[in-house]
């Protein structure tokens, strides 16, 4: 819960606001096979929707005192072998992992082809529109000469 108390003047006469926070609830989720196309090698993992456990801290200060250090961007990247081990530990089989990885890779390879086809389609449509506009201009010019 967050509350904003009434504005009040401090000793120098300027207005200040006071904000307070209630409890902090932390939810833990299982890691499952994902389909993120940015994963270049091995399986992709994501969080399951259902939470496995909840921990509630009475205050933000209590949460901060128990919080694990913040990881850098490089530390957030998980090697392929670690993702496989994590998925195996969460009950997935090698077959499921391999099948989903191949399916994702197939979609990822097809993506540039679809993007190129869409660009070509838009260009063709633009080209047709330009040709129609040109024909109309030429028709108007010919009509004005008659």
130 HSE (CA, 13 A, CB side): 6
Would you give per-residue pLDDT tens digits along the chain (146 residues)?
A: 444 455 555 566 667 788 878 888 989 888 888 887 777 788 888 888 888 889 999 988 888 888 777 888 888 888 889 989 989 998 989 999 888 888 887 777 665 666 666 666 777 777 788 888 888 888 888 888 77
Helix, strand, or coil here: 70? coil
Residue 111 pLDDT: 58
Helix, strand, or coil here: 42? coil
Measured N-to-C along each axis, helices 94-145 and 80-89 cross at an angle, to the nearest 10 degrees, of 120
Nearest to 101 by CA among 59, 52, 22, 45: 45
How many angstroms separate the first and last alpha carbons of the chain? 79
Residue 40 pLDDT: 77
Residue 113 pLDDT: 63
Residue 5 pLDDT: 52
Phi and psi at residue 142, to the nearest 5°: -65, -40
């Amino acid at each position: 819960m967050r509350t904003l108390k009434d504005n009040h003047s401090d000793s120098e006469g300027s207005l200040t606001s006071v904000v307070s926070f209630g409890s902090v609830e932390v939810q833990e989720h299982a890691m499952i096979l994902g389909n993120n196309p940015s994963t270049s090698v091995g399986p992709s993992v994501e969080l399951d929707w259902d939470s496995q456990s909840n921990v509630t801290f009475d205050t933000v200060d209590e949460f901060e005192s128990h919080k694990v250090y913040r990881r850098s961007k490089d530390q957030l990247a998980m090697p392929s072998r670690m993702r496989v081990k994590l998925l195996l530990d969460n009950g997935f089989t090698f077959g499921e992992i391999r099948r989903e990885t191949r399916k994702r890779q197939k979609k990822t390879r097809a993506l540039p082809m679809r993007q190129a086809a869409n660009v070509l389609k838009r260009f063709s449509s633009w080209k047709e529109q330009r040709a129609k506009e040109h024909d109309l201009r030429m028709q108007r010019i010919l009509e004005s000469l008659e």
